Each structure stands twice: as C-alpha cells, then as structure tokens.
Amino acid sequence: MGAIMIRKTTKDKIIDYISYFFIYSCLGWIIETIYAFIIHGHFVNRGFLFGPLCPIYGFGAVILLLVTKKMYGKPLQKFLIATILFTLFEYSVSLLLEVIFGLRWWDYSNDFLNIQGRVSLMYTIFWGLIGLIMLEKIHPLIENLIQKIEVRINRNNKTVIVYVLIGILILDFILSSLKYLNIF
C-alpha cells in the first residue's frame, strides 16, 4: 500500500519543519546522553536546556534538510555539505554560547586538528557521516511517520501541539538562560 499524499500549504510545511526540529533536537539529546553515559558512567544532561532537547541538533537538521531538499542520489555532495555546514554551525554555536554565558559545552582542544577546541577533524568527519545517514536513512522514516500521524490527526490539532511545544521550549530556554547567567 502506497503512502497517502496530503496537499500541503506553506503553513503545513513550516509546521513540518518545526516538528522536525523537535524530533531531531530530542534525538540529539538521546545521542548526547548515551555518549555521556558511556564516557562518564552515569547520567549527564549534555544539553543547554532543562528538558530533553539539544536544539543544536534540531537547527542543524532543519538547515541541512532545507539546503539539500533538491539533491536526489548525490550522497557525496550531501556528505560534503553536511560536513561543512555542521562544522561551521558547531563552531558558531560554541562561540555564541561562550560569549553569552561564558561557558563551553564542549571542548575538542585535545583532538587532532582542532580549531580553538570548538571543532576538530574527527568530529567534522563524524558530523558529515551523521548528516548523510540522517538524510538517507533516518529522515525518510521520520517523514513517513509524520505523514502517518497526519492521517490520524487533523491539521489544527497538529498545529496546536507544535505551538504548545514551542511555548514549552521558550519557557525552558528562558529558565535555562537565567540559570546559566546565575540569575536563577
């Protein structure tokens, strides 16, 4: 049985990308939490927020999806774009977080070919691979899952859910920022 195609308005597409942001932010948090558990042997909340989201993954995924949405059957190009895009994004976010909060959420200073400890060759290659796997394997599954959900709930309910998630994210961002600025 083939997938049911739903005609999407611009608003629907924006809601989809916001949904992708939350899904990939959550998946990123899960990956970071598992990685930290393996390294440290106990739970460490590796994200900036109180909740189970790492927005750097969500924003990175959405940016990558938008940049590569017309690239079909070009895995090498996707890998190179993911590598460059994620590395530039990781560097920028690291710098921004340090300027605003005076803290570093990651430090690759001990890694081979690093730039100010913000990015390194090993993670640059890793991000390229993760980006390619996301685009080729994970995202088609998530896109299909979202289409199946859309068949079961109406657009208004999906929109309300997304707006509630945005509200929770904004509240979490404010409270987390206050914590890191030592105001809370």
Calculate ∠ Cα 168-93-169, nearest 5°: 0
pLDDT for residue 29: 95
Which residue matches tokens 């030592």?
182
Tokens of 13: 């597409």
147 touches 6 (CB < 8 A): yes
Tell me the C-alpha distance between 36 and 89, whole Å. Answer: 21
Contact 25, 53 (CB under 8 A): yes
What predicted TM-score, i.e. pTM, was given to this entire model? 0.89
Instruction: State phi, psi for 109 to the nearest 5 degrees.
Output: -55, -30
Bridge partners of residue 120, in order along the sequence: 114
Per-residue pLDDT of the chain (184 residues; tens, 9 = 90+): 445 555 778 888 999 999 999 999 999 999 999 989 998 899 888 888 999 999 999 999 999 999 998 888 889 999 999 999 999 999 999 999 999 988 898 999 999 999 999 999 999 999 999 999 999 999 999 999 988 888 888 888 889 999 999 999 999 999 999 998 887 6
* Rounded CA separation 169/173 (Å): 6
* DSSP H or E segment with residue 5: none
Domain regions of the chain by residue span: 10-158
